[in-house]
Amino acid sequence: MSGDTQPTLPIPDPAARWVLSSPEPAPKRRRRWPWLVALVVVVLLAVAAWFIGEWVARGIVERTIRQQVVSNLQLPADQQVDVEVPGAVLPQLIGGSLGQVRVASDDVAIDGITGDVVVTAADVPIRGGADWSSAQASISLDEQQLQALLGRVEGFPADSVTLDSPDIAMSTELSVLGASIPVGVGLSVTTQDGALLLTPDTLRLAGAEVPAETLVDQFGAIARTVVRDWEVCVAQYVPRALTLTSTTVGADAVVAEFDIDSALLTDPSARETGTCA
């Protein structure tokens, strides 16, 4: 083969540098999942700490309230007292007051009178020297408990009392010429100056309903022992800070409602029993 037909190779450039090259390695991906796991663990620990703190704080608050109720009302140490504080307790403690507190106890004995008590207060301060925005109490007396209360009213036939919503009923007798005439009386219940006022509403003579005037006309002054108002002082059994506002006669109980002055928290005299006008 002649030199004219042989392929020629390019002459290498002496200035060129020959470098052995290889593909660049792909950047390593950072493993982020350990950080994610750590973050989740921290969040879970924070949540657990919050719930544990909330549980501890709620227990302390409810236990303290119960102890104060038992102490101030001089209740038996084993008296069942239910305390309810709605909502999260920790934010309320940080804010300095409890938004709402509800305390309930059955068969609470106050000066020998027993009833079921429910107290609800709003914006209750956790530090001394402050007032709550409002507080109410309700005291419920069943038929037997009502009889015990009315038994302290001189001349009132308390043993004959029954609940006849919206009134209470009692029965008595008129003695005329040696004969006893049974009379049934329906009494409406209102409130007046810290007392319950029982007013004859309906009268039954020998099973028939009669107007009060008829009974007075027929029996004269004797009928006045029946046709009369009865005043039952309630204020003498409860602290002065409680003001009787209303009374309702239901099928199972008479419920007396009270407003509570926040002086009860700071003034010892407000915890003393009151009087009726």
Of residues 46 and 203, which shows the higher confidence score?
Answer: 203
Provide the mean pLDDT of the chain: 82
Alpha helices in 73-136 (DSSP H): 89-95
Strand runs labelled E in 211-253 = 230-233, 242-249
pLDDT tens digits along 266-276: 888 888 888 88
Q: What is the pLDDT of residue 55?
A: 83
* Phi/psi of residue 167, nearest 5 degrees: -115, 175
**pLDDT of 67 strictly over 80:** yes
pLDDT of residue 20: 46
Q: What mean pLDDT do residues 86-114 have?
A: 90
For the chain, the structural domain boundaries read 33-131, 133-277
pLDDT at 159: 92
pLDDT at 89 exceeding the cut of 50: yes
What residues contact 252, with CB distance under 8 A and at least 6 apart? 142, 143, 163
Q: Kindly tell me if the per-residue pLDDT of 69 is higher than 60.
A: yes
> Which tens digit of pLDDT belongs to each residue from 162-207?
999 999 998 877 766 666 778 888 899 999 888 999 988 888 877 7
Show the beta-strand stretches assigned E in the chain: 82-84, 97-110, 113-125, 134-141, 162-164, 167-176, 179-192, 195-205, 208-210, 230-233, 242-249, 254-260
Query: What is the rounded average pLDDT of the residues 241-257?
Result: 94
Q: What is the pLDDT of residues 16-43, one digit of tens each?
A: 554 545 555 555 555 555 666 666 666 6
Residue 217 reports pLDDT greater than 60: yes
Q: Choose the weakest-confidence range: 4-8, 33-37, 160-164, 218-222.
A: 4-8
On whether the CB atoms of residues 124 and 264 are closer than 8 A, the answer is: no
How many angstroms separate the CA atoms of 100 and 88, rounded? 11
pLDDT at 108 over 80: yes
In the block, tokens 């407003």 appear at: 259
Residue 243 tokens, joined = 């003001």
Task: Output the pLDDT for position 34.
Answer: 65
- pLDDT one-digit tens code per residue, 116-166: 999 999 999 887 778 899 999 999 999 999 999 999 998 888 999 999 999
Residue 266 is predicted with a pLDDT of 83
